[in-house]
């Protein structure tokens, strides 16, 4: 992505499902990690989720 227009298009298009999501910090294998939760469609709580394609960071 490059520029405000690309970011706006992403956030209001494919990433719209992230609206209202929560990130919860935690640890995994002695490293920093997080859990991501989306609001339930009926607004009664949250459900865990993750993107289909996840990146692995090293270094």
- pLDDT tens digit string along 8-17? 998 899 888 7
* In a domain? residue 12: no
* In a domain? residue 56: no
Task: Please tell me the distance from the alpha carbon of residue 26 to that of residue 46, in angstroms, as a whole number.
Answer: 17
Confidence of residue 44 (pLDDT cuts 50, 70, 90): very high
Task: Kindly state the tokens that stand for 4.
Answer: 């405000």
* In a domain? residue 45: yes
Task: Please tell me the distance from the alpha carbon of residue 56 to that of residue 22, in angstroms, as a whole number.
Answer: 21
Among 25, 52, 51, CA closest to 38:
51
Helices (H) and strands (E) in the chain, counts: 1, 3
Place of tokens 């009926």: 42
The total of structural domains in the chain comes to 1
28: containing domain: 20-50
């Amino acid at each position: 992505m490059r520029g405000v227009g690309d970011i706006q298009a992403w956030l209001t298009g494919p990433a719209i499902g992230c609206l209202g999501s929560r990130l919860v910090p935690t640890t995994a294998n002695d490293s920093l990690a997080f859990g991501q939760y989306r609001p339930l469609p009926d607004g009664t709580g949250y459900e865990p989720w993750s993107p289909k394609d996840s990146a692995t960071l090293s270094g």
